[in-house]
Every structure is written in structure tokens, then in C-alpha cells.
Amino acid sequence: MDIAPLFGVTITTPSPPPPSILVFWSTPPVGSYKINTDGCVKDGFASGGGIIRDSDLGKSVLWVESDSTLAIHCITKGGGPWHIQATLWHIRHLLALDRDTITHIFREGNQVADLLALEGWDRCCYYEYSSQDLPRRTSQFGPD
């Protein structure tokens, strides 16, 4: 290994794999709602999905989770493409960032929103579900 650089050869040792982390969805705190969102792009077409769940109806605190760190950054810190600035402005003004929370969630914890985004792509139209008619595939991720 000491003479490898003399021959223009770089020897690296593989880095250890990152530690495993447990990823799961957690219920929102009492008195708040939680919105999980996700998007899907396939064959040049995009769709989105989301689900709103609550701990107790009638409360106004909001927790938004997304697996897009870029979207979270654009909403909370600013930036992003100029053609979506008006949309970002509306989102910021709908949310009270001093009261509401926007956080990242790994895709594994965001599977219901991911499935709904795929469902939206398959339907090719806007569709709303009630808690009684969610696609059967979402039930494998536990109760809402």
C-alpha cells in the first residue's frame, strides 16, 4: 500500500455502512393535526398525495411531514425556483411557523402518503378519500 501511489494507484478502504435507524410514523401530539405529503413522477407525469390525521378533532395546531428536505427548506428558509415562489408564499402564510411544525420524515415512515401519491398517478385525476374509503393498501401501515 505504501508504493501504490508511485504507480498512480489509489487504494481506499471501504467505509463502514451507516448505522441502522428505526423509522416509523408517530401520532401527532394531543390537540394537533399531522399532514404527511409525498409526490410521484413517472414517465414524465407528476402526482401528489397526502393524508391528514389528528389526535383530537377541532384543534388548530398543525404538523407537516415530508420526505423532501428540499421542499421543507424552501418553505421554512426560503429559496427554490422563481416560478414556485408565489406557491411557497401562500404555504408560508397558511402555516403559522411559530406555532405549526414542518419536519422531515424518512420515506419508510411516510408510506401512506407515498401510496396515495402513486394512487393519484394511477387515477390521473384529483381524488379525495374519507377515512372509510382509503385504498386497502394503506391499511397495512396501521390505524390512522
44-95 pLDDT per residue, tens: 888 888 888 876 665 567 888 898 888 888 888 888 888 888 988 888 888 8
Domain ranges for the chain: 25-130
pTM listed for this prediction: 0.65
Segment (H or E) for 51 = strand 45-54
Place of cell 384543534: 59
Homologous superfamily of the 25-130 domain (CATH): Ribonuclease H-like superfamily/Ribonuclease H (3.30.420.10)
